[in-house]
Amino acid sequence: MDTRFDVLGIGNAIVDVLARAEDDFLAKQGMAKGSMALIDEPRAQSIYDAMGPATEASGGSAANTIVGVASFGGRAAFVGKVKDDELGRAFTHDIRAAGVAFDTPPASEGPSTARCYVLVTADGERTMNTYLGAAQDLHPNDVDEATITSASIVYLEGYLWDPPQAKEAFRKAAKIAHGAGRKVALTLSDAFCVGRYRDEFLNLMTTGAVDLIFANESELHSLYETSDFDTALAALRKDVKLGVVTRSEKGCVVISGGETVAVPAAPIDKLIDATGAGDLFAAGFLVGHARGADFGTSARLGGLAAAEVIQHLGARPLTSLKALAQEQGLLK
Amino acid sequence: MDTRFDVLGIGNAIVDVLARAEDDFLAKQGMAKGSMALIDEPRAQSIYDAMGPATEASGGSAANTIVGVASFGGRAAFVGKVKDDELGRAFTHDIRAAGVAFDTPPASEGPSTARCYVLVTADGERTMNTYLGAAQDLHPNDVDEATITSASIVYLEGYLWDPPQAKEAFRKAAKIAHGAGRKVALTLSDAFCVGRYRDEFLNLMTTGAVDLIFANESELHSLYETSDFDTALAALRKDVKLGVVTRSEKGCVVISGGETVAVPAAPIDKLIDATGAGDLFAAGFLVGHARGADFGTSARLGGLAAAEVIQHLGARPLTSLKALAQEQGLLK
């Protein structure tokens, strides 16, 4: 069956509220640098009151990935829940204007559109505080069979395990995708998220509900509760058909059965803001993989997109990734 | 009498919605490149629907200036009207987090917070479309005598002539300021704004309601309806006590009575986004002038701030202008 989309992403629909911060602001606020913390509305207000002047930009991990897929010229769709408020309308505008099909109906009542307070320190590291708001109300009914079956790869973020009903939407989407012979990919999202849902994630892998896992080193170590990279990689190789492990400036490793492909990181001039690095790596890899590129080429596409996004403030590409990839001879 | 503030600004409280655009987008939308057009709500919606992915950041001409004053370490206050909605709360957060006193009560009903759709083309030029919304409801009652008299300089934007009641707030503020022996400064805002209110602006100058005029070349030419710079400058010299004319990469000219001081532009690596150049020039000049610096030093502070803001996307400084000025030996 033909596909309408290369990649369909399901994730928390979030607007980022970005500001620069000093290390001692993080300390005073009790934030663990580099992490993502879930916060409630009073805490969101208290962080916002204390932080510096900010800018607002659409974010959300899988949403960033899907926008990256579209920037590569991939056919892309997204499923996620906003409220029908100003930030929700901004999220909707931005993802559609990036060329992504996005038709999940917004909530007309309940909590406001999700916000992530992103504090970027001088070293380029980002520390995130997420108020899930309306994203918590993503429901299995928001997952439409016809849309799921029309995508080569369904891509899900581990963060979806946080909102109570979203994991059911996730399971439903995976089942539909496999029923139609499509692939299901999952990012482990972050090491703390893995800590919260380790057994469930491992179960998704070993039962074959997920075909492709994206993880960075700390997520992988958290998943297998080991500090030894080779031990963790061997376990991943056994548990999933295709594993892609990103290692920041050390590049990435792709494993599949007995096969191993290591690709160095794309060079950068200066790290400005690490927000979106993993999301955009996944975008490049997924575009390559959906279109039948080999692992090495797919990983290079991922590295290219990650390098673009970490050299400016914000989690979505500011230039055409398709043009960048064509310059490098990675895409036609 | 002592002052609490170096500069108090009165202007339209606006949130910028910024996106990159191609020249042909401007042409298709019938936009005059480099200009500011006033738009109604349906037109705002139609532009937003057509434009690319955007980011939101607080803006407004005088508000940007006042944030610049604070970034230089100046004591700064702002008067302007937002609605009590998401964008209004973002505007309020951002200006207060920048260290500016901002206490104008938000509107609880009526139109939403003002938005400016800013399209930035590859050459760094910005084209603006402003929906004034709640900013139209700035009322003379929002101008508080105690606050006005506590500022060395009251700074007003010419754009305030657009909302029907704001000019009364403007006149009231100017009168109070002069009554307390303070200075009143006005920026002409843009050449089209000058076209709309030429006679009223000239009247403010020749009657002494305004002591200091900021204008760029095209505004000056529009004010005196001449294409000859020297003719226009001679007329300005006659009409106002202190005139500051910015000339982009040619720097600026300060005139006062028989005195003329020309200062070259600060060097830049690359023009990324011209949004805020005039606003930030005014910030530097006003800080210097309020603190008794000579015209040359004040103009250099202006040039420094303009150079910072045009080398990144967005209309407000991303770094401490005080630190920059100290590096250059322009501020203690």
| CATH number, domain containing residue B38 | 3.40.1190.20
B98 touches chain A (CB under 8 A): yes
Residue A152 lies in a domain: yes
Q: Residue B87: what pLDDT?
A: 96
Are B13 and B116 spatial neighbours (Cβ–Cβ below 8 Å)? Answer: no
Sign of CA dihedral A63, A69, A71, A73: negative
Out of B86, B94, B316, closest to residue A86 by CB: B86
Consecutive H or E run containing A225: none
> Taking Cα atoms as reference points, which of B263, B274, B275 lies closest to residue B303?
B263
Q: Residue A163: what pLDDT?
A: 86
A260 touches chain B (CB under 8 A): no
Closest chain A residue to the Cα of B319, Cα to Cα: A20
Confidence band of A273 (pLDDT split at 50, 70, 90): confident
A316 touches chain B (CB under 8 A): yes
A177 touches chain B (CB under 8 A): no
Q: Are β-strands A212-216 and A242-246 bridged in parallel, bridged antiparallel, or unpaired?
A: parallel
Contact residues, chain B, for A95 at CB < 8 Å:
53
Compute CA distances A92 → A81, A85, A87, A95, A97, whole Å: 10, 10, 9, 6, 8
A318 touches chain B (CB under 8 A): yes
Closest chain B residue to the Cα of A92, Cα to Cα: B53
The residues, ordered by sequence, that sit 6+ positions from B329 with a Cβ below 8 Å of its Cβ are none
A57 touches chain B (CB under 8 A): yes
Residue A271 lies in a domain: yes
Sign of CA dihedral A91, A92, A93, A99: positive
Are A13 and A113 spatial neighbours (Cβ–Cβ below 8 Å)? Answer: yes
Residue A54 lies in a domain: no
Q: Residue B167: what pLDDT?
A: 87
| Separation between Cα atoms, residue B70 and residue B93, nearest integer Å | 15
Contact residues, chain B, for A56 at CB < 8 Å:
55-57, 90
B272 touches chain A (CB under 8 A): no
Copy the structure tokens of residue B207: 């009657």
Residue B156 lies in a domain: yes
A196 touches chain B (CB under 8 A): no
Contact residues, chain A, for B90 at CB < 8 Å:
54, 56
Contact residues, chain A, for B20 at CB < 8 Å:
318
Q: Residue B1: what pLDDT?
A: 56
pLDDT per residue as tens digits for the range A6-36: 999 999 999 999 999 999 999 999 999 988 9
Residue B332 lies in a domain: no
Are B226 and B264 spatial neighbours (Cβ–Cβ below 8 Å)? Answer: no
| Separation between Cα atoms, residue B332 and residue B330, nearest integer Å | 7
> Taking Cα atoms as reference points, which of A116, A140, A110 lies closest to residue A128?
A116
Low-confidence ranges of chain B (pLDDT < 50): none
Q: Residue B96: what pLDDT?
A: 98
Q: Looking at chain A, how many residues does it have?
A: 332
* Chain A nearest C-alpha distance from B227 (Å): 39
> Taking Cα atoms as reference points, which of B315, B289, B279, B281 lies closest to residue B120?
B315
A97 touches chain B (CB under 8 A): yes
Q: Residue A167: what pLDDT?
A: 87
B314 touches chain A (CB under 8 A): yes
Closest chain A residue to the Cα of B313, Cα to Cα: A313
B28 touches chain A (CB under 8 A): no
B87 touches chain A (CB under 8 A): yes
* Chain A nearest C-alpha distance from B238 (Å): 41
A100 touches chain B (CB under 8 A): no
Q: What is the ipTM of this complex?
A: 0.89
pLDDT per residue as tens digits for the range B121-134: 999 899 999 999 99
Residue A157 lies in a domain: yes
| Separation between Cα atoms, residue A55 and residue A264, nearest integer Å | 33
* Chain A nearest C-alpha distance from B56 (Å): 5
Q: What is the dihedral of CA B148, B151, B157, B162, to 10 degrees?
A: -10
Residue A289 structural domain:
62-86+95-102+137-327
Tell me whether residues B87 and A86 touch, CB distance under 8 A. Answer: yes
Residue A205 lies in a domain: yes
Out of B48, B55, B85, closest to residue A57 by CB: B55
Q: Residue A313: what pLDDT?
A: 85
User: Of A45, A47, A56, which to mutate for an interface test with B (greatest number of B Cβ within 10 Å)?
Assistant: A56
Are B122 and B28 spatial neighbours (Cβ–Cβ below 8 Å)? Answer: no
Q: Indicate the number of domains in chain A.
A: 1
* Chain A nearest C-alpha distance from B98 (Å): 6
Are B111 and B133 spatial neighbours (Cβ–Cβ below 8 Å)? Answer: yes
Output the average pLDDT for chain A. 95
Residue B239 lies in a domain: yes
* pLDDT higher than threshold 60 for residue A1: no
Tell me whether residues A53 and B87 touch, CB distance under 8 A. Answer: no
B94 touches chain A (CB under 8 A): yes
Q: Residue B304: what pLDDT?
A: 97
| Helical residues (DSSP H) of chain B, grouped into ranges | 23-28, 41-50, 61-71, 86-97, 145-149, 166-179, 191-206, 217-224, 229-239, 277-290, 295-309, 321-327
| Helical residues (DSSP H) of A13-85, grouped into ranges | 23-28, 41-50, 61-71
Backbone region of residue A189 per phi and psi (left: phi > 0; alpha: psi in -120 to 50; beta: other values): left
pLDDT per residue as tens digits for the range A183-228: 999 999 999 999 999 999 999 999 999 999 999 999 999 999 999 9
Contact residues, chain A, for B93 at CB < 8 Å:
48-49, 53-54
